Structure 1
Amino acid sequence: MTQKLPRHLLAHASCLPEHIDGIPTDIVEAAPAYFAASSPCSLRKLREQRPAQGGISGAHEAIQAATLAARCVSRRLEESMDRFVLGNCHTLADFGSAALDSSILQPSTNDGGTAIAHRLAGLHRFVPILESATGSNRIDAALAKLDSTNAMDPGICTLGAIQGTASATLGTRVHKHGRTTGSTTGIIDDPSIDVLVPLNRQDPTRLAQFVDQLRIRPRPGQLVFAQPGDSGALVLTKGDNSAVGLLFACPDNGSYAYANPISAVLDALEIDLE
């Protein structure tokens, strides 16, 4: 909720019960989260890199700016010789409206990327986002096929090699490297949250509900975990670099972020991280 109202201003049907199974309930105000793609910056993570790596600027040619997640391989036998890059549906597939094999640029267009000079991969497949305030989206994810298998290295900028995957739990310490905010550390403060994310900043009635998501807060002493342009960043455990989530949304002030559980992403796209 963006604003908590007193009970006397609400219809009775709109009020939560004060207790559910003996547990007190409350409404917590929070700034709205948006799909995290945009915003300028000026470090090496914004420049062309060949081979590329996870955690740097990269997005579909129609998207201003986002982050490449990581290099991956397909579980499909017929794709065993190919290499792919993971990202969000909204960053690699333009919310599902992009044509297959359309260009994924590194860096993103806001960082100087052009289809002629900076194509890294072609859109290969994605999971559509269901536009509905009562929908059950599990992931915001897409896959692009690298134009050459050596166009991207495994691992994440600054964070290093990915050490498998894990399931996040309440209190799990995590970190990520993103195109806008670079390397940041956070804490999972809800490992299974249902959230509404606006699909269009100019039209707040267009919403998509995501279920069973991870919510991440900045670590104590740090104000920001992610900001626009960090969409697509892989979220790893702080201790051993196990992948736990794929970042896809955050408020502009960076006070929290949402990520898809990584197991749901990998299973839906039939891939594994390298």
Structure 2
Amino acid sequence: ILSNNHVLANSNDAQIGDMILQPGSADGGTYPADMFAALYDFVPINFNQDAPTCSITKSIAKLGNAAARAIGSAHRLDAFQVSTMPNYVDAALACPLDPQDLDDEIIGVGKVIGMMVNPKLGEKVCKSGRTTGYTNGEITLLDLTVSVNYGGGKVATFMDQIGTTNMSAPGDSGSLGVMFIDQAPYAFGLLFAGSDKITIYNPIKAVADALNITF
């Protein structure tokens, strides 16, 4: 079972062998009645360090926030030290307790038969997720560098990501991004973040290489 670190491994806080619930606890799942799988592997996320001690950096952030307040903006600047170890994927694997509980077809998509490792700008894509179901989008950004707030003061910077038009909402993380080639579905990315304007995917080749999996 392929998903995100922050979905299956609790943003690095889980241990291999921890139980996975289906439905998840947010959807009413309970332990042990809804045990479905066990955490098998995950790629650790390198989180950015605490706020910098540099007085110049802190002053710039303070001035920027004062200007934002003055013009009525709801956005704020936050200074932090970027991790020296870049991230490329937010990915994890779980092993089902009973393989018969799984279906290798994605609702609305079908069975993915391979990977598209060189997606292009403007290509049409889709995904099927827990919150928004089946949605369509278009690739708008490649080689994207983005900082993602995981809550609890955890921020991580990711490089070489894929951006699409908004096609997701919270709870869709872990969905497989798919494009159709000659009417056959190929994976191009693993959805892990987004906003009301953009959805962000890890490139599927980076995910496959990091977890040593194939499609």
TM-score using structure 2 length: 0.79
Quote how far apart the aligned CAs of 1:164 are. Answer: 0.8
2: CA distance between counterparts of 1:176 and 1:145? 22
Determine whether 1:145 maps to 2:95: yes
Q: Distance in 2 between matches of 1:178 and 1:108?
A: 14
Deviations 1:172-226 (A, max 9, x none): 11000010011100011112111111121x64xx4211000000114xxxxxx10
* 2:105 equivalent to 1:155: yes
Aligned-CA RMSD value: 1.4
Alignment of 1:172-211 (within 5 A): 172-200=123-151, 203=153, 206-211=154-159
Q: For residue 91 of structure 1, report the CA deviation from its aligned partner.
A: 0.4
Give the TM-score, by structure 1 length.
0.62
- Alignment partners' CA distance in 2, 1:145 and 1:234: 17
**2:172 aligned partner:** 230
Instruction: Please give the secondary structure, in 1, of the residue aligned with 2:135.
Output: strand
* Count of matched residue positions in the alignment of Structure 1 and Structure 2: 178
* 1:4 corresponds to: none
* 1:1-274 matches, cutoff 5 A: 85-132=1-48, 133-134=82-83, 135-167=85-117, 168-200=119-151, 203=153, 206-218=154-166, 225-239=167-181, 240-251=184-195, 253=196, 255-273=197-215
Q: Is the 8 A contact 1:185 1:238 kept in 2?
A: no
Identity in percent: 39
Amino acid at match of 2:128: H
Q: Structure 2: how far apart are the matches of 1:248 and 1:238? A: 21
Taking the aligned partners of 1:262 and 1:115, their CA distance within structure 2 comes to 32
Q: Mind listing any 5+ residue stretches in structure 1 that lack a counterpart?
A: 1-84, 219-224
4+ aligned runs moved over 6 Å, structure 1: none
Match of 1:50 in 2: none
Counterpart-to-counterpart distance in 1, 2:209 and 2:96? 20
